[in-house]
Chains A and B, each alone.
Chain A
Amino acid sequence: MQPSRDTHATLVDLLDRVLDKGLIINADLMIHVAGIPLLGVKLNAALAGMETMLKYGIWQDWDEAQRATATEERRRKEEVSLIAGQ
Chain B
Amino acid sequence: MEQEKGRYLYGVATSERTVRLGPIGIEGCNVYTIPYEDYCAIVHNCPTKPYQSTDDETVKRWVSAHQGVLDEAKERFGTVIPFGFDTILQPGDKATSPDQVVKDWFKGDYERLQTIMEKIKERDEYGVQIFYEPGLIGRQIAEQSQEIQKLKEEIATKSPGMAYVYRQKLEKAVKAEIEKLADKWFKYFYSRVRHRCDDIMVEKTKKADGDRMMLLNISCLVARQKVDNLGEELEKINNMEGFSVHFSGPWPPYSFVAKAVVPIKGE
Q: A19–B63 contact, CB under 8 A?
A: yes
Chain B 194-223 interface 0/1 with A at a Cβ cutoff of 8 Å (1 = within)? 000000000100110100000000010000
Q: Count how many pairs of residues, one from A and one from B, have CB atoms less than 8 Å apart in the complex.
A: 145
B86 touches A37 (CB 8 A): yes
B235 touches A1 (CB 8 A): yes
Chain B min CB distance to A32 (Å): 8
Contact B251 A30 (CB under 8 A): no
Q: Does A2 contact B (CB under 8 A)?
A: yes
Contacting residues of chain A (32-69) with chain B, CB-CB under 8 angstroms: 32-34, 36-41, 44, 48-52
Tell me, yes or no, whether A9 is within 8 Å of chain B by CB.
yes
Query: Are A1 and B207 neighbours in the complex by a CB distance under 8 Å?
Result: no
Are B207 and A50 closer than 8 Å at their CB atoms? yes
Which chain B residues border A3 with CB–CB below 8 Å?
Answer: 126, 227, 231, 247-250
- Name the residue of chain A whose CB is nearest to the CB of B222: A3
Number of chain A interface residues as a range: 35 or more
Q: Given A31-B48, A37-B53, A74-B54, check contact A23 B92 (CB 8 Å).
A: no
Within the complex, the shortest CB–CB distance from A24 to chain B, in Å, comes to 5
Interface string of B160-189 (1 = CB under 8 A from A): 000000000000000000000000000000
Q: Which residue of A is nearest B257, CB measured? A: A23
A-contact 0/1 string along B234-246, CB 8 Å cutoff: 1100100000011
B109 at the binding interface (Cβ < 8 Å):
yes
Can you list 23 A-B contacts with CB-CB less than 8 angstroms, sorted by A residue number? A1-B232, A3-B126, A9-B248, A15-B63, A17-B219, A18-B66, A21-B84, A22-B83, A23-B87, A23-B116, A23-B257, A24-B261, A25-B83, A25-B87, A29-B89, A30-B89, A31-B50, A33-B86, A36-B54, A37-B86, A41-B60, A51-B209, A52-B207
